[in-house]
């Protein structure tokens, strides 16, 4: 399988992004092994299947960047065999949700969206019948942020099946109403129920509060300051882009978003996302049931580094193996693209890269 490996560049944004490429030694990067060799072995052995791109940065400097060509899709539409590289746009799928989480924090600071403690249903006055339901009165914006609204939602099936709640939402006449009218199955705040519908509600609040489409707003307040000039945001039609899964970025630009989170929302001395929002967004709210916890549209975990106590990491995960990990204590950002869409074990390859190649070889 063709591959392209690039090593040791700057991830500075936006002006210094075109730094010369050179090779960093493991010692310079703080690792005890050649990560490129470990990654290459994993791919050739078949242990790491379907990877399209891997980028590891430490303290803003790229230590490892690799691309493997492969079959790909754009929001479910087959693209055939794609030559992957630094300029290739790639589906983020549900990593999009975490980007929307950042956008909500920016919009909140600008007074464009309701605060987390606000009741949710009055934010959508076009549905007075739903707002009048006493069973829904206790649901707040923060419950959409943490996916604890208590509404029925099921995305366990393939994203090609109308029984999948996200697909049913996309086929509904009103996506917002579809989400809001789902039956209440548990009191709000008590159980994590994975829901692209929650993200759709947040995206709707951002769009109506800003008076802009989600892509236009993202370009102005987030992508522009990060030097991200090329992206796509897919949806069923213009103005109805999918807040849950429609974003496409390059791997370097996804890593820049990780770096923004690692640096508490700042880039090159400019506070793009409020620092207090990053802190609130990455504060554990609810267990996800698989050993992780969830904040406000970001996954949260902990890793033991050396002999010290476990350090927190923040993550954004998407269908097919799309991953973004940020481990501030070690200065690490790891971004991964993959093409194993709708495959139940798509998480295994990226997780092996994170745990068995990156963390296992990090110098104490």
Structure confidence by residue, pLDDT tens digits, 304-345: 887 678 999 999 999 999 999 999 999 999 999 999 999 999
| Residue 252 structural domain | 3-95+248-361
Of 162, 191, 210, which residue is a domain's last? 210
Is 236 inside a domain boundary? no
pLDDT at 15 over 60: no
Q: Which of 157, 187, 210 is the last residue of a domain?
A: 210
Mean pLDDT of 10-20: 44
Mean pLDDT of 270-282: 98
Burial class (CB in 10 A: 0-12, 13-18, 19+), 283: middle
In CATH, what number is assigned to the domain containing residue 199?
1.20.58
Q: What is the pLDDT of residue 27?
A: 60
Q: Please tell me the pTM assigned to this model.
A: 0.94
The CA angle 346-348-353, to the nearest 5 degrees, is: 120
Residue 27 has φ and ψ, to the nearest 5°, of -65, -40
The per-residue pLDDT for range 122-178, each reduced to its tens digit, is 999 999 999 999 999 999 999 999 999 999 999 998 888 889 999 999 999 999 999
List pLDDT tens digits, range 207-254.
Answer: 999 999 999 999 999 999 999 999 999 999 888 999 999 999 999 999
44 domain-assigned: yes
Q: Does position 16 have pLDDT exceeding 50, yes or no?
A: no
CA distance 188 to 203: 20
Same domain, 277 and 353: yes
Tell me how far apart the alpha carbons of residues 162 and 262 are, in angstroms, rounded to a whole number.
37
Q: Are residues 86 and 15 in the same domain?
A: yes
Segment 19-78, tens digit of pLDDT: 332 345 556 678 988 999 999 999 999 999 999 999 999 999 999 999 999 999 999 999
Structurally, the chain folds into a number of domains equal to: 2
pLDDT for 12 beyond 80: no
């Amino acid at each position: 399988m063709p591959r392209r490996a690039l090593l040791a560049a700057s991830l500075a944004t936006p002006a210094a992004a075109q730094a010369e490429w050179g090779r960093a030694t493991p010692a310079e990067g703080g690792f005890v092994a050649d990560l490129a060799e470990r990654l290459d072995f994993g791919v050739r052995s078949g242990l790491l299947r379907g990877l399209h791109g891997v980028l590891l940065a430490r303290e803003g400097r790229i230590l490892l960047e690799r691309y493997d060509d492969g079959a790909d899709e754009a929001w479910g539409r087959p693209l055939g065999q794609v030559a992957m590289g630094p300029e290739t746009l790639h589906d983020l799928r549900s990593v999009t949700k975490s980007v929307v989480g950042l956008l909500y924090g920016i919009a909140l600071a600008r007074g464009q969206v309701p605060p987390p403690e606000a009741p949710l249903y009055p934010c959508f006055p076009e549905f007075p019948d739903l707002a009048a339901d006493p069973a829904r009165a206790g649901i707040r914006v923060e419950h959409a942020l943490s996916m604890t609204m208590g509404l029925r939602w099921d995305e366990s099936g393939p994203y090609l099946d109308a029984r999948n709640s996200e697909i049913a939402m996309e086929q509904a006449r009103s996506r917002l109403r579809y989400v809001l009218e789902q039956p209440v199955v548990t009191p709000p705040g008590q159980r994590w129920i994975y829901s692209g519908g929650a993200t759709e509600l947040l995206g709707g609040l951002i769009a109506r509060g800003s008076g802009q489409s989600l892509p236009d707003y993202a370009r102005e307040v987030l992508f522009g300051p990060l030097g991200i000039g090329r992206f796509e945001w897919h949806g069923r039609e213009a103005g109805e882009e999918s807040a849950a899964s429609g974003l496409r970025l390059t791997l370097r630009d996804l890593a820049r978003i990780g770096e923004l989170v690692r640096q508490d929302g700042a880039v090159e001395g400019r506070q793009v996302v409020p620092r207090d929002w990053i802190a609130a967004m990455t504060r554990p709210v609810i267990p996800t049931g698989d050993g992780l916890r969830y904040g406000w549209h970001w996954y949260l975990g902990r890793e033991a580094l050396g002999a010290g106590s476990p350090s927190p990491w923040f993550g954004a995960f998407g269908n097919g193996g799309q991953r973004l990990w940020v481990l501030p204590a070690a200065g690490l950002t790891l971004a991964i693209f993959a093409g194993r869409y709708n495959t139940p074990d798509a998480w295994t390859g990226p997780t092996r890269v994170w745990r068995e190649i990156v963390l296992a070889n990090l110098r104490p």
